Structure 1
Amino acid sequence: MVRKVPTVFGSVFHKDMPVLAFENGAWQDIRWQSSEAFQLSPGAHSLHYGSECFEGLKAFRQNDDSIVLFRPDANITRMQQSARLLSLPVPDTDAFHRALFELVARAADEIPEAPASLYLRPTLIGTDPVIGKAGVGSDNAMLYILASPVGDYFKPGAPMKLLVETEHMRCAPHMGRVKCGGNYASALPWTVKARKDYGAHQVLFCPNGDVQETGASNFALINGNEIITKPLTDEFLHGVTRDSMLKIAADMGYQISERNFTVDELRAAIENGAEAILTGTAAVISPVTAFVIDGQEIEVQSQEKGYAIRKAITDIQYGLAEDRYGWLVKIDV
């Protein structure tokens, strides 16, 4: 059986979705409803004051046709952190697990074979129908999860040009580790401009020369046998794929350096043959092919190491290599 993968990433959803509501001071039982639409007050706190956050993770059809989730606990923990920082009710771990696992089981027949997957989008929104609560969090909330069969977000082998932006930030520094829509929206003006003016696919935000991340992915430099990436701070998203990449790369023999580095160091390394990659659930590992720095385009000479690391991760996800890290959770279908 060949399962169809939609042309546009994240455009087709499983017909149902689980919904968990936080009302009257408690999380209510999971209910299932159509994923086509839901009712929400036009005065909902999330629509006016941005009290929303989301996650992205994937389920995979392995080589033996079994279905697995990749590191769901890490995504649940990160959403709980985002909820706390946004003053939203924190999702219950057990209920979150049940909703996620049952959704994957229900959508199992739609999960495509490698190199595609089932993308899962848990979303938490503040639902207080009061527009006078600009200075306080939402007491009520709703968590729902969409499931979408997807192919690659960035096609392997396709160009990936980054514009290096040193004047502007992706988002407010204290909000960087929160996975919320406002952070993505705040990066859009520079991303749209980069695409229009330079043909760039993403913007690498480097305020005052400090290399951080792109609008939608973490970033790492592969300089010889060293992988350099910014240390965990509040300024950028603590990516699950980033963490997975660092663990796998260390086992592949790379020296891992989680430290601050500058655009000048980045430029010198690229000009001397270094590679660079983007990491993320949708992106997986996407090697960079060129940078635009101070108006000058600099080609990245190789993507070989980036693709080797990508293969090491995807081989685990699709059951082609042993999961020595305990990252896979098998789903009973």
Structure 2
Amino acid sequence: MTTDVLQIELRKAERSRLQEVDFNHLPFGKHFSDHMFVADFVDGEWQNQMIVPFDNFTLSPALSSLHYGQSIFEGMKAFKNEAGEVLMFRPQANFARMNESAKRMCMATLPEEVFMGGLETLLRIDADWVPNTPDSSLYIRPYMFATDTYLGVAPSKTYRFCIFTCPVGAYYSNPPKLKVETEFIRSAPGGVGYAKCAGNYGGSLYPTLMAQQQGYDQLIWTDAREHKYIEESGTMNIIFVIDGKIVTPATSDSILKGVTRDSILKIARSWGMEVEERLVSIEEVISGIETGRLTEAFGAGTAVGSSPYSLIGYNGKDYMLPEFAPEDSVAVRVRNYLSDLRTGKIADSFGWMHRV
């Protein structure tokens, strides 16, 4: 069958896997919903839009994305309100960022009707997969990769766009421990650090593994020139509270423009908090911890939400971060506010929630 407006072909799964999932114990990224949206860019246009059962792709060994890295993705979440309606958080921001990544990676951009139309149709079909248990959500993974079968270093002329979803619980069960990375780099000025491309994450795996072997959970990445200024924190942007002010590295071509980061800064400003987006040095952070001027450090990202850190390791020494009661912590206040906003418990004064 085909929907009249969006012209999306629908092939439903013969059997749902919904009953196989324990929604009270959801590991992150392990369970996948019944269907996925797929579209192909061929002959200069997006076509073959389909909702199909979640399954493997059949791909050529000569697929150009496997050899030359034209692969980008996004991370989003959907929630349910008390009436059982499905709500997406700021999907337009993710749509805009995906096209920014596509332009930087010399890939085809997506029309809004393909991105949003496929997303909404998929969520309507798999609405029962959106959990309503505490600290849970439906994680949404839109991604695109080159599909030319050609061994030559040149932009592909064809692409596949896909969206699949998975019900998830909390990303971190405990506040993560971070190590400041002063040897390896995540990105450099003029590079692709602001794009959400697969290579950024592939390059981070080895130094992250080394840090985990030393007892840390993630890294704090520093600038490529001097390893003096903080950029990102593993899977998330990084935010500090110093002298009662929100302080965070200003985004650049080497720092991902996080949707959650942007949301938290807007919320903090609406609360009357002073917000500084600027260079933040490691020395300022360490000095702030030692003198008590720095009272919080936390990560901001779609997967983690707002995640307080427990310690920062730098030059062989661990610096413990202050512990706060929930009502005193900016990170927890923001997390609770976003949770209430996303589930419809408070008014959407920012206009961020998109009802499916």
TM > 0.5 between the two?
Answer: yes
Looking at structure 2, the residues matched to 221 and 34 of structure 1 have their Cα atoms a distance apart, in angstroms, of 43
Counterpart residue type for residue 288 of structure 1: Y
Counterpart in the other structure of 2:151: 131
Looking at structure 2, the residues matched to 35 and 188 of structure 1 have their Cα atoms a distance apart, in angstroms, of 27
Counterpart in the other structure of 1:70: 89
Counterpart in the other structure of 1:115: 135
Counterpart in the other structure of 1:13: 32
Counterpart residue type for residue 200 of structure 2: N
Counterpart in the other structure of 1:152: 170
The two structures, once aligned, show a CA RMSD in angstroms of: 1.6
Counterpart residue type for residue 138 of structure 1: S
Residues 1:310 and 2:335 aligned together: yes
Which stretch of the first structure deviates more once superposed, 238-247 or 105-114? 105-114
Counterpart residue type for residue 279 of structure 1: A
Q: CA deviation at 1:168?
A: 2.3
Looking at structure 2, the residues matched to 90 and 172 of structure 1 have their Cα atoms a distance apart, in angstroms, of 24
Q: CA deviation at 1:7?
A: 3.6
Residues 5, 150 of structure 1: 8 Å contact kept: no
Counterpart in the other structure of 1:300: 321
Looking at structure 1, the residues matched to 169 and 60 of structure 2 have their Cα atoms a distance apart, in angstroms, of 34
Counterpart residue type for residue 323 of structure 1: D
Which stretch of the first structure deviates more once superposed, 287-296 or 38-47? 38-47
CA deviation map 1:121-168 (0-9, x unaligned): 001000011112x1x21110000001101111123xx13110011232
76, 101, 125: which one aligns with 1:82: 101
Looking at structure 1, the residues matched to 321 and 60 of structure 2 have their Cα atoms a distance apart, in angstroms, of 49
Relative to the length of structure 2, the TM-score reads 0.88
Structure 1 residues 111 and 53 mapped into 2: Cα distance closer, same or farther (>3 Å)? same
CA deviation map 1:194-225 (0-9, x unaligned): 1102x111100113211110221100111132
Structure 1 residues 85 and 35 mapped into 2: Cα distance closer, same or farther (>3 Å)? same
Q: CA deviation at 1:254?
A: 1.4
User: Structure 2 regions of 5+ residues with no counterpart?
Assistant: 1-18
Looking at structure 2, the residues matched to 93 and 40 of structure 1 have their Cα atoms a distance apart, in angstroms, of 27
User: Structure 1 regions of 5+ residues with no counterpart?
Assistant: none
Which stretch of the first structure deviates more once superposed, 303-312 or 14-23? 303-312
Looking at structure 2, the residues matched to 215 and 184 of structure 1 have their Cα atoms a distance apart, in angstroms, of 9
Q: CA deviation at 1:306?
A: 1.3
Looking at structure 2, the residues matched to 43 and 121 of structure 1 have their Cα atoms a distance apart, in angstroms, of 25
Residues 26, 167 of structure 2: 8 Å contact kept: no
CA deviation map 1:60-80 (0-9, x unaligned): 011232110100000011000
CA deviation map 1:251-296 (0-9, x unaligned): 1221110000100001111221421010000000000110101111
Aligned residues between the structures: 326
Residues 108, 159 of structure 2: 8 Å contact kept: yes
Residue aligned with 1:176, SS: coil
Counterpart residue type for residue 193 of structure 1: M
Q: CA deviation at 1:86?
A: 0.4
Relative to the length of structure 1, the TM-score reads 0.94
Percent same amino acid among aligned pairs?
Answer: 34
Counterpart in the other structure of 1:288: 309
Q: CA deviation at 1:5?
A: 5.2
Q: CA deviation at 1:3?
A: 6.7
Looking at structure 2, the residues matched to 6 and 282 of structure 1 have their Cα atoms a distance apart, in angstroms, of 16
Residue aligned with 1:311, SS: helix
Looking at structure 1, the residues matched to 42 and 141 of structure 2 have their Cα atoms a distance apart, in angstroms, of 22
CA deviation map 1:35-90 (0-9, x unaligned): 22112211111111110000000110112321101000000110001001001111
Looking at structure 1, the residues matched to 54 and 346 of structure 2 have their Cα atoms a distance apart, in angstroms, of 35
Residue aligned with 1:209, SS: coil
Residues 221, 233 of structure 2: 8 Å contact kept: yes
186, 192, 212: which one aligns with 1:175: 192
340, 345, 348: which one aligns with 1:320: 345
Residues 6, 12 of structure 1: 8 Å contact kept: no
Counterpart in the other structure of 1:184: 201
